[in-house]
Structure 1
Amino acid sequence: MDIQGSVAVVTGANRGIGLAFTRALLAHGAAKVYAGVRTPEEFDEPGVQTLRLDVTDADQVAAAAATAADATIVINNAGIQVGPGLLDGSFDGARQELEVNYFGTWAVSRAFAPILAGNGGGALVNMLSVASWRPNLRFPSYAASKAAQWSLTNSLRVGLKEQHTLVVGIHVGYVDTDATAGLDAPKVSAAQVAEKTMAAIANNEPEVLVDDTARRVRAALSGPLDLIR
């Protein structure tokens, strides 16, 4: 679909990948970008319209959909990583990850699917991860929430096909953001993620493998478990 002249909604838009998405959309000619953030009073980005949006709050999701009823692109970017280790720690963080990463994506997708349909189909983009595909001993609940989000993305792709909505899943390894600042590992920039996503939307591509890690892990899915670690 054509990004030029589109109207987009980005959840978790206040920093990192979400902020890169908002800037890339404007750079590619979006007529309007709604930035979904928890605290609009603390967010000031030129050229965007803020929405108070906690994706776990049903009332805020409904209000955002009512405000952004002209949306043609929705990017589910909001996500957290706060869960326990594999064999210790409270499950509270794991439940929070599912609420934001999985149920939050589902809630926003449900709210905006009829809007996208009414506006010609448009695109629904879910920010996933290689964590959707490979075991993670350090953050197993985050990986589980991303695996659930990937499954949901596939269901949405099939379910929204008849209304001509492009559903795009974005997979990437480590991204250079505040969350990975202390991590010594190869990273791609948030801007790279955003640019490859813009290209996927423009070319009607349902899946984006941003980096070598994503491509390697995706290719190894049908093999032994050790190959995708």
Structure 2
Amino acid sequence: MPTLANAVVLVTGANGGLGTHFVNQALERGAAKVYAAARSPREWGDPRIVPLKLDVTDHDSVVEAAALAGDVTVLINNAGSSNGASVTGDLSAVRDLFETNFWGALDVTNAFLPSLRASKGVVLNVLSVLSWYGIGDAYSATKAALWSATNTQRLALAGDGIHVASLHLGYTDTPMTARITEPKNDPADVIRTAYDGLESDAYEIIADKVSADVKAGLAQPIEALYPQLSR
């Protein structure tokens, strides 16, 4: 995908901190249309932006959205949630998190495969540095699962001409991280990096140094990544 010019982009979780930048920067790069998908769509004041009702945890909603947006060429699975769930705690909360962060993303991609196959389109799964780093507990587990599924999607869909990319990023200044006091990325910079990656046909887009460092650490003994395990 050499350019976003004239692309038809769909962004899930479009009302969120990253989602808004995904929508606006797609237009800046020449996208012909952007479907701004959210549970509660809002008006954007731009005829090129089409608000679309989509709840990624509701299969009927996903199917209906795919029927309404059958011309999508670039799908951005950005919708995500964090509820503080722990894999050693109430597993019902963990299951809720997987419904959005894992099952929802897979369901949306599968629903849009006909249009993506027709256009030899692009899927971008928004992951996290926590795909590789378990300090996020259940949230990390959901992102690790989607990272694995993303690798499988790459292999399964390559023969259809569909390019599947992933975006890995650390803390970024969005409402989801409002209570975090550590340094954060500027979301505009993250999305700029994401689109640069898509336009260069990258499979894995690493948005910041912390993500690059953690990925490099995966080749080290587990105690190097998690020094708290050392005795």
Q: Is the 8 A contact 1:83 1:97 kept in 2?
A: no
The residue type equivalent to 1:116 in the other structure is L
The residue type equivalent to 1:82 in the other structure is N
The residue type equivalent to 1:122 in the other structure is G
- Matched residues in 2 for 1:34 and 1:4: separation? 15
2:146 alignment counterpart: 149
Matched, 1:161 2:125: no
1:29 alignment counterpart: 30
2:218 aligned to 206, 217, 221, which one?
A: 221
Matched, 1:114 2:114: yes
2:229 alignment counterpart: none
- Matched residues in 1 for 2:158 and 2:86: separation? 38
TM-aligned CA deviation for residue 227 of structure 1: 3.1
1:191-219 Cα shifts (integer Å, max 9, x gaps): 11111111111111111110000000111
Matched, 1:91 2:91: yes
- Matched residues in 1 for 2:44 and 2:225: separation? 38
- Matched residues in 2 for 1:10 and 1:169: separation? 14
- Matched residues in 1 for 2:101 and 2:19: separation? 14
* Number of aligned residues: 223
- From the superposition, tell whether residues 227 and 209 of structure 1 become closer, same or farther in structure 2 (CA, over 3 Å): farther
TM-aligned CA deviation for residue 87 of structure 1: 4.0
Matched, 1:178 2:164: no
- Matched residues in 2 for 1:85 and 1:101: separation? 15
| TM-score normalised according to structure 1 size | 0.94
1:210 aligned to 183, 207, 229, which one?
A: 207
- Matched residues in 2 for 1:4 and 1:76: separation? 20
Q: Is the 8 A contact 1:77 1:126 kept in 2?
A: yes
> Please, which runs of 5 or more residues in structure 2 have no aligned partner?
227-231
> Please, which runs of 5 or more residues in structure 1 have no aligned partner?
none
1:146-178 Cα shifts (integer Å, max 9, x gaps): 000001110111111011111110001101111
| TM-score normalised according to structure 2 size | 0.93
TM-aligned CA deviation for residue 16 of structure 1: 0.5
2:58 alignment counterpart: 57
1:96-130 Cα shifts (integer Å, max 9, x gaps): 110000000100111112211112x1110000001
TM-aligned CA deviation for residue 228 of structure 1: 3.1
- Identical amino acids, percent of aligned pairs: 38
User: What SS does the corresponding residue of 2:81 show, helix, strand or coil?
Assistant: coil
The residue type equivalent to 1:10 in the other structure is V
- Matched residues in 1 for 2:34 and 2:154: separation? 23
Structure 1 ranges of 4+ moved more than 6 A: none
Q: Is the 8 A contact 1:83 1:92 kept in 2?
A: no
